[in-house]
Amino acid sequence: MSERLIQAANLARHYDVRRGLFAAPVTVKAVADASFEVTAGRTLAIVGESGCGKSTLARLLTMIEPPSSGRLTIGGTDVSNGNPEAVRKLRQFVQIVFQNPYGSLNPRQKIGAALEEPLAITTDLPSEQRRVKANEMLAKVGLRPEHYHRYPHMFSGGQRQRIAIARALMLSPRVLVLDEPVSALDVSIRAQVLNLLADLKAEFGLTYVIISHDLSVVRHVADDLMIMYLGRVVEYGPSANVFAKPRHPYTQALLSATPVADPKAKRNRIRLEGELPSPINPPPGCPFHPRCRHVFDRCRAEAPVPQLQSGVTVACHAVAEGRI
């Protein structure tokens, strides 16, 4: 049985925000009751619209923020309470590559120093060994030794993302969280970065969690797929099963909108009506019911409980009752 590197049970992250100077704070449920696991050697893709809680979940998995409730186990250690010592020990276990390669690097810091910094903070390696490891990692991501002394503004977007990936790998993590790793890049560069990630995964035995809204990218890289809507997991399972037979109405709509290369392929486009509700004031019952074409009375009153359907977990009353 494959090793479970990350396990989440009913994970939630709430924020208290003020809508005015004298207004009472309101609670935003950015992530609510998310349960899933990350298995060694596999790639989990987390997909949804902007504002669905994907990036918040990434911050929880990388221990940048503690969960508000629920249980999060990383590398066999419960980090739900945000224990500083437990978090410090696991910093090398999980690393993150942020979405924007232009903003994730210090413009005043040379690339060599940026790569060496994680080693300087967390290890006792002497400077010469840190320099050797930094140059080795530059080569792994397709950059040259002379890049070591250059500043971030001297690189293209694709090169900066390679540098960000190299920096994340300096501590030899087992899990790499990639928050929209190619969305800020030109289309011509995306395939190069995705191929690099595939090569690095094979070479270092990495496990990936990819945050994305682009199902055309996810289809080619993900082993497992988790669809989120308004902070909740609506469908979760092996990506081959989800793509072959999407069950949740939201997943069906997302897949119907994914571009395909074949111009002759017949497609049944499902158009969602209305806008994504505000997380400050989510609708009662199922959060998707105001936009769902299969909505009925139970959806408006009762939040669905995720249930296993042919190997895929789905949170939908219509699916549970056999209506779709």
Asked if pLDDT for residue 191 goes beyond 80, the answer is: yes
Task: Name the band, by pLDDT with cuts 50, 70 and 90, for residue 278.
Answer: confident
Q: Which segments of 213-276 are extended strands (E)?
A: 224-229, 232-238
Distance CA 196, CA 27 (A): 40
Nearest to 284 by CA among 207, 230, 213: 230
User: What's the burial of 68, exposed, middle or buried (CB within 10 Å: 0-12/13-18/19+)?
Assistant: middle
What pLDDT, on the 0 to 100 scale, is given for residue 264?
Answer: 64
Report pLDDT digits (tens) over 199-211. 999 999 999 999 9
Task: Name the band, by pLDDT with cuts 50, 70 and 90, for residue 1.
Answer: low
Work out the number of other CB atoms within 10 angstroms of the CB of residue 288: 25
0.75 exceeded by pTM: yes
Distance CA 260, CA 4 (A): 34
What pLDDT, on the 0 to 100 scale, is given for residue 312?
Answer: 95
Task: Name the band, by pLDDT with cuts 50, 70 and 90, for residue 63.
Answer: very high
Asked if pLDDT for residue 24 goes beyond 90, the answer is: no
Question: Which are the contacts of 230, defined by CB distance < 8 A and separation ≥ 6?
Answer: 51, 52, 53, 276, 277, 279, 282, 287, 288
What pLDDT, on the 0 to 100 scale, is given for residue 140?
Answer: 96
Report pLDDT digits (tens) over 74-102. 999 999 887 788 888 888 999 999 888 77
What pLDDT, on the 0 to 100 scale, is given for residue 266?
Answer: 65
What are the structural domains of the chain?
4-93+173-320 (3.40.50.300)
Report pLDDT digits (tens) over 243-273. 999 999 999 999 887 766 566 666 677 878 7
